[in-house]
Structure 1
Amino acid sequence: MTSNQELNKFPFSSISCRTNVLIFALSRHNPFHAFVKAVGIYPVGSLVRLSSQRLAVVVEPGMESLLTPKVRVFFSLRSREPIPMQTIDLAATSCKDSITGPEDPTLWNFKNLDDLWME
């Protein structure tokens, strides 16, 4: 059993630990940065909400920015119905759409969601 006295001797406070993690995460040369760069902010297969009030699945990471992947749009939030699928490169200069955030797929109960990004 560990006494409280031993825990109080630990040289790091929770604040300094959080600060160290933040500094580590923001550093350009660390495994976390490499992981985010490899996987992306929105990994392939992620369900995302677009500014156009549509839902899409990420099908390819963005080449220029982690915030602008290629997505496959398939659902309208306005009509709450499926729409014809369309693949959009959010990095294209002609694209006016953007990701407003991730969506929890369990809240939508879509069947075959994985099939959308594997096509």
Structure 2
Amino acid sequence: MGALFDILGGLVLVVGTAFLLLGGLGLNRMPDVFNRIQAGTKATTLGTILTLTGIAMMHPGWALKLLLIGMFLLFSNPLSSQVLARAAERTHVHKTGRTRIDRFEQDHKGDKA
């Protein structure tokens, strides 16, 4: 049974690492800060959760600690990306010309008066 968990844990670990790699590639290829935040947050959150799950399958004694780390990550990573995006919007960071819809600007048109 331990060998099965080692194999499954290794596969989940590889998938998580692939998501982390794709998140890093997304940070490099996206045209502006808002797209980079989204690519980095979504891919790295899933990649890190999968990596932690793979490690927990390979080392069951660490599962509780890894679960706590994963829960902290699930709360802090989306929150930090939202704060970064809001700060970028407030400091008027340049958007790419391909950005067609700006929901933040649509929602806050009346606030600028």
TM-score band w.r.t. shorter chain: under 0.3
TM-score, length of structure 2 as denominator length: 0.24
Q: Report which of the two has the higher share of strand.
A: 1
Q: Report which of the two has the higher share of helix.
A: 2
TM-score, length of structure 1 as denominator length: 0.24
